[in-house]
Amino acid sequence: MRLDAGAKNAADLELEFAWFAQVVDARFKRYFGPPADALQHAGTDPLGIAAPSLSGARSDFAKLLRRHRATPLERLALVLALLPHCKPQLLDIFHTRNQTFDRQFTEFGGQRDAAGDFTPTGQTLAFLVAGAALAPRFALQSLFEREHWFATERLLHLAPPEPTPSLQKGALAGVLACVLALSGEGLALCTTGRAPRPNLGLDFPARPLTTALQWSDLVLHPGTLAQVQDILVWVRHGATLMDGWGMRPKLRPGHRALFYGPPGTGKTMTAALLGKVTGREVYQVDLSLVVSKYIGETEKNLARVFDQAQHKGWILFFDEADALFGKRSETKDAHDRYANQEVSFLLQRIETFDGIAILASNQRENIDAAFARRFEAIIYFPVPSAEQRLQLWRQSLPGQARLADDVDLSDIAQRFELCGGAILNAVRQVCLGALDDASHCITRDALQRAIARELDKEGREA
């Protein structure tokens, strides 16, 4: 997968770099060539050279540009930041010396390190887009404002040159003097593919949730499945609805769903699969850590979870949501008081969260009603029907195991009301038995014993 993403990016970057080389060539000809030549030469306006159309391209790099309708100026800035990492030789032309003054051209900007390598600065970009003209330079500043996608996607920022000049420069001068610095995530996204998972540290109360299972492994009640699929519809069209169709002022941002139902009915699995099929990371927020261990630090940590999730399009999964979203208790001691503060903070953050938040609980009644009203979906995960149980048995048993003649799976599915999780546990047990006695055969007795054990765990009788 990763190689594939890298190969797609490489192909599109080659096109982008080739365009960049043409722009540089045109700029140099226009800047240094005789004026008459510049006028005759069609296409010497560097910004008149069309950037490659990436409309059909599938690389992460192309998707990023499309998502933000990147302008040529933005694309040049990105290329300049990428080149030192990807193709520094394309920057060699900026080593050209000014013969008149026997020094480097001030107009190229850039930072040269001890090894002579050239790192583009804002001035390099200004030279490319504007030559010596002033007005187009002013547009550069807007690329590095806090609201710009370079910043919100945490891709590209301006790093002060080394050593930092003691002189206090004005805003534009600051932009021109600073190095175009790509973040590690930005570099990964544009080159090897998806951004690596950030290293969030031990105190970060969220962990990635993944699954090796496939969507086709999911066995759900049709009503449950339909509601789960509504989340996919939101992923596909939410942005268009909110922005394209102008509903943002009227609707709450994001999408919140409560998954509730008995243990082992596939709530966690569904959340993980939603991430897998939409290509999003799912982060499981560990609420027990949040309430008990991080009193005081909690809000800060949770704020980090939400900030990261919002930027990166993560799905947030709050397992055992009752721990925090349960009915608010009367304040009894200091611990309770903190817990309630955290609840209020969480409620507020979840309500304003502009992404997908999934909360899971075993009982709907455990969730504060005031809070439940704010969910876009409340989805029940029931115990599977006999027919679904048969399907779960069939797909859980490995092909290597043989079923003894006396085993009637549909009878077993009919008689025992087990959820997917319990069926899997029983399968695990009988398979280990079949391996251990080298028979590789699962008997009816062994199955019944394993089922009895599962029922016993739930306090039921076979």
Query: Alpha-carbon distance 314 to 390, whole Å?
Result: 34
DSSP string, 248-270: TTTSPSSEEEEEE-STTSSHHHH
Token duo for residue 93: 């032309």
Does 420 contact ligand ATP by CB under 6 A?
Answer: yes
The DSSP symbol for 366 reads G
Closer CB to ligand ATP, 59 or 265, in the complex: 265
Distances (CA, A) of 86 to 118, 305, 313: 13, 32, 27
CB of 369 to ligand ATP, least distance (A): 21
Binding-site member from 109, 186, 266, 275 for ligand ATP (CB under 6 A): 266
Among 83-91, 154-162, 188-196, 262-270, the segment contacting Mg ion (CB under 5 A)? 262-270
Among 23-31, 128-136, 223-231, 260-268, the segment contacting Mg ion (CB under 5 A)? 260-268
CA atoms within a 13 Å half-sphere pointing along the CA-CB vector of 371: 24
Query: Alpha-carbon distance 158 to 41, whole Å?
Result: 35
Among 19-27, 155-163, 346-354, 416-424, the segment contacting ligand ATP (CB under 6 A)? 416-424
Does 425 contact Mg ion by CB under 5 A?
Answer: no
Contacts (CB under 6 A) with ligand ATP, residues 309-368: 362
| Residue among 409, 66, 379, 371 at smallest CA distance from 225 | 379
Strand partners, 255: 356
Q: What is the CA radius of gyration of the chain?
A: 29
Does 275 contact ligand ATP by CB under 6 A?
Answer: no
Strand partners, 182: 156
CB of 360 to Mg ion, least distance (A): 6
Contacts (CB under 6 A) with ligand ATP, residues 378-407: 381, 392
CB of 212 to ligand ATP, least distance (A): 9
Binding to ligand ATP by CB under 6 A, coded x per residue (else -) over 421-440, reads x--x----------------
Does 265 contact ligand ATP by CB under 6 A?
Answer: yes
Closer CB to ligand ATP, 26 or 413, in the complex: 413
Binding-site member from 219, 346, 357, 426 for ligand ATP (CB under 6 A): 219
Query: Alpha-carbon distance 123 to 132, whole Å?
Result: 10
Among 35-43, 273-281, 418-426, 451-459, the segment contacting ligand ATP (CB under 6 A)? 418-426
SS3 96: coil
> What, of Mg ion, ligand ATP, none, does residue 263 touch, CB below 5 to 8 Å by kind?
ligand ATP
Q: Residue 249: which residues within 8 A CB-CB, separation 6 or more?
A: none
Closer CB to Mg ion, 218 or 241, in the complex: 218
Closer CB to ligand ATP, 183 or 366, in the complex: 366
Closer CB to ligand ATP, 50 or 232, in the complex: 232
CB of 278 to ligand ATP, least distance (A): 18
Burial class (CB in 10 A: 0-12, 13-18, 19+), 304: middle
Query: What residue is closest to Mg ion based on CB?
Result: 268
Dihedral-angle region of residue 156 (phi above 0 means left; psi in -120 to 50 means alpha; beta otherwise): beta
Query: Alpha-carbon distance 177 to 180, whole Å?
Result: 9
Strand partners, 358: 257, 317
Query: Alpha-carbon distance 331 to 340, whole Å?
Result: 8
Does 265 contact Mg ion by CB under 5 A?
Answer: no
SS3 111: strand
Binding-site member from 44, 59, 124, 268 for Mg ion (CB under 5 A): 268
SS3 405: coil
Does 121 contact Mg ion by CB under 5 A?
Answer: no
CB of 423 to ligand ATP, least distance (A): 7
CB of 43 to ligand ATP, least distance (A): 59
Does 298 contact Mg ion by CB under 5 A?
Answer: no
Does 267 contact ligand ATP by CB under 6 A?
Answer: yes
Query: Alpha-carbon distance 215 to 228, whole Å?
Result: 12
Closer CB to ligand ATP, 217 or 368, in the complex: 217
Number of residues lying near ligand ATP (CB under 6 A): 18
Query: Alpha-carbon distance 181 to 36, whole Å?
Result: 37
Does 310 contact Mg ion by CB under 5 A?
Answer: no
Residues that bind Mg ion (CB under 5 A): 267-268
Contact residues for ligand ATP, defined by CB under 6 A: 217-220, 263-269, 362, 381, 392, 419-421, 424
